[in-house]
Structure 1
């Protein structure tokens, strides 16, 4: 257990994990206690900037590929080209994050991401129009992201006390979800005005702000720095063994896999917009369906004060996944677009609660020398689960119909997580003390 305490401006104050209770509406608003920590505030502020900037590139790349090829298949191939390196380097990056100064790793990887954004801009302004160049740049950028994400997330537990981990997870998840909403909307508004190339440049400039914020962080070397640790695939395997031996970590991953693989119906949104909700206008329906879950997640984050102070982290994950499954079931049964959107918004709120407490469990239940590897696996699960769901729901939708596939998936989520909670009680019993740091 990490019992070290820092001193100075960038530190976690002793015994200061609980603020004076808030009254009135403030008790329901976002829990901002972690922002009192200067180091965490810098890390979080860099996330605010890049959450939107990264989405500009996320929109620009598939748009440019489609403009060049006129084929949605090539857009799909590009997504796969980015997924594989992200998975590999997230797993390896977790081991690296456990063996080096995490601040240094963040500086190196953010620089790599910024350089690839500049190269995206260069190929666009020069009119290169090469799909293969775009796919290579995307693969490189996603590899840097895979290295960056475990170090960034694992650093949080060194910057805030245990009692504020859920609040910190809510703050980070909220700005990422805001980026998922605001980034594509901003990209759609800017493309006709300034063009694709400038979107890449804006992302690169935003990453410069991130580099400055990371540079101002304190050093984050391994706590057992006297021990030399490698960062090879043997260490990655050790991370998976660690998960297998620590039941609460394994169960938190399984809960997320159940929710995302069985209950994420986004692959069926186009079919539902074209059939069930066609009378409302296919374009309107499709836009609302895709936006509803992120909007719900943002609402959950903005009201995180209602739940982030709970010490029953495991139980909160179970309840959130149950709520997700129930909301997805309601969505599948809905014939009214507005009722369907309301259920998806509710699902987004539940997803935010689940993200908050799963993130807090990963930071609290793992020792510091393992946190990077846990975050690497977490990155892979978060990125890979919805893609597996696309395949599963797309196949089921074609075989049984879209609404049946969605409602059936939601019911399977409820049944599976109830079985998980009943058979293995370790997750529902897991709680955290706010008076010590893991």
Structure 2
């Protein structure tokens, strides 16, 4: 590890289980299949297992809310307004939630916020079964739920570094990211199958019940209080500002955020999928083309996670981020040049694999390069970047697609990702030299 750039600030948890030896890595297929060493740690295993259920459950609500808004209003514009109503509190509370996560017992914060998310899911169900049909009620509940999510996410992600040793952080990130990506695929498909059978309201109730599993898993975690007990830290906006100052003083953290911004803002073309499905791939059927385009990246990410043993043991975390972002840009460029749907889907799936690699090592860098008293705030900024980057990309690519054509905008964005990442790696050696 480059000690000039970071310090782990790691503690020793009694619930981790026995340390692994080099022989645990295995040979043959075990070397390239998903690295499951973190699952030998009982506390991490409980947290991860709960994520399997909630990753799908949360997507049921993510489908149900816009569907209900559209059913009430008949307007896609209102669906967009509802999304914005959820984004703003999520961003604000993720930044503040990072500071809170660094000042209190993270286990306690997770219990409170998961309870809040579950209660709002129950309220979603109540308004649906009572036939309230108020879009404003939906928007208020969505804003409240996303505020709880913003408080929850930094504490949840920052806790991982207290549950697994340093050499398993990348593997833990791969396990968590794979489950979340699987939820992005399975959740909407399950919602689409369930709505005609049980109705829309029950999707909210299923999500609430799934969150009860999370509450049990969090309750079984060991206490996760701040390691530094010499000072009493307040979770105010001054602490949020201190987190940004910390990022500016630690180049590898700043560069990891910049790498994600480059990949997502310049290279995420999802806003152009409807236009491409209607024009370039219309001969395959617009509905089929649109569904495949949206599903391809998450499917690729899941595949990347399942075979993450091929890369998760690498110690060159910074170099892996650079290579993954450049591979993402190259795959997006290939997608833009594709004239057949199946080739386009293949390139998008390859982009999903690259995105998984990037997520794994960026997540590991954030957990290893920051001290424990700053991890919550780093994860808060990470949550904002991950949520905000694709939305900025929607605006940028939508505008570029209208001005220059969809395929030109996609190809240009992919090439810009490669060029920008090459430039960043060339002028700032801290990221490419970072290892653990």
Q: Which residue pairs with 2:196 in the alignment? A: 192
Contact 1:149 1:379 (C-alpha < 8 Å) held by counterparts: yes
| Structure 1 residues 254-304: Cα deviation after superposition (integer angstroms, max 9, x where no partner) | 000000000000000000000000001100000000000000000000000
| Structure 1 residues 332-351: Cα deviation after superposition (integer angstroms, max 9, x where no partner) | 00001000000000000000
Matched, 1:8 2:3: no
Gaps of 5+ in 2: none
Contact 1:150 1:376 (C-alpha < 8 Å) held by counterparts: yes
SS of alignment partner, residue 24 of structure 2: coil
Change (3 A) 1:318 1:2: closer
| Structure 1 residues 308-346: Cα deviation after superposition (integer angstroms, max 9, x where no partner) | 000000000000000000000000000010000000000
Q: Cα offset for 1:406?
A: 0.1
Change (3 A) 1:243 1:4: closer
Q: Cα offset for 1:240?
A: 0.1
| Structure 1 residues 103-133: Cα deviation after superposition (integer angstroms, max 9, x where no partner) | 0000000000000000000000000000000
Q: Cα offset for 1:46?
A: 1.1
Q: Distance in 2 between matches of 1:71 and 1:221?
A: 47
Q: Distance in 2 between matches of 1:399 and 1:202?
A: 43
Change (3 A) 1:224 1:8: closer
Q: Distance in 1 between matches of 2:62 and 2:344?
A: 27
Contact 2:8 2:370 (C-alpha < 8 Å) held by counterparts: no
Match of 2:127 among 123, 129, 133: 123
Contact 2:319 2:434 (C-alpha < 8 Å) held by counterparts: yes
Segment of structure 1 superposing worse, 4-13 or 238-247: 4-13
Q: Distance in 2 between matches of 1:286 and 1:19?
A: 45
Q: Cα offset for 1:12?
A: 5.2
SS of alignment partner, residue 287 of structure 1: helix
Contact 2:10 2:162 (C-alpha < 8 Å) held by counterparts: no
Q: Cα offset for 1:89?
A: 0.1
Change (3 A) 1:305 1:131: same
| TM-score, length of structure 2 as denominator length | 0.96
Change (3 A) 1:110 1:53: same
Q: Which residue pairs with 2:115 in the alignment? A: 111
Q: Cα offset for 1:9?
A: 18
Contact 1:2 1:367 (C-alpha < 8 Å) held by counterparts: no
Change (3 A) 1:161 1:396: same
Q: Cα offset for 1:10?
A: 13
SS of alignment partner, residue 34 of structure 1: helix
Q: Distance in 2 between matches of 1:428 and 1:223?
A: 30
Q: Cα offset for 1:20?
A: 2.5
Q: Cα offset for 1:170?
A: 0.2
Change (3 A) 1:250 1:195: same
| Structure 1 residues 366-411: Cα deviation after superposition (integer angstroms, max 9, x where no partner) | 0000000000000000000000000000000000000000000000
Change (3 A) 1:268 1:225: same
Q: Cα offset for 1:16?
A: 3.3
Gaps of 5+ in 1: 433-438
Q: Distance in 1 between matches of 2:329 and 2:10?
A: 44
| TM-score, length of structure 1 as denominator length | 0.96
Change (3 A) 1:13 1:232: closer
Measured on the aligned residues, the alpha-carbon RMSD in Å equals 2.8
Q: Which residue pairs with 1:89 in the alignment? A: 93
Q: Cα offset for 1:4?
A: 20
Q: Which residue pairs with 2:361 in the alignment? A: 357
Contact 1:332 1:406 (C-alpha < 8 Å) held by counterparts: yes
Contact 1:12 1:37 (C-alpha < 8 Å) held by counterparts: no
Change (3 A) 1:89 1:332: same
Q: Distance in 1 between matches of 2:202 and 2:20?
A: 45
Contact 2:94 2:154 (C-alpha < 8 Å) held by counterparts: yes
Change (3 A) 1:30 1:12: farther
Q: Cα offset for 1:8?
A: 20
Q: Which residue pairs with 1:71 in the alignment? A: 75
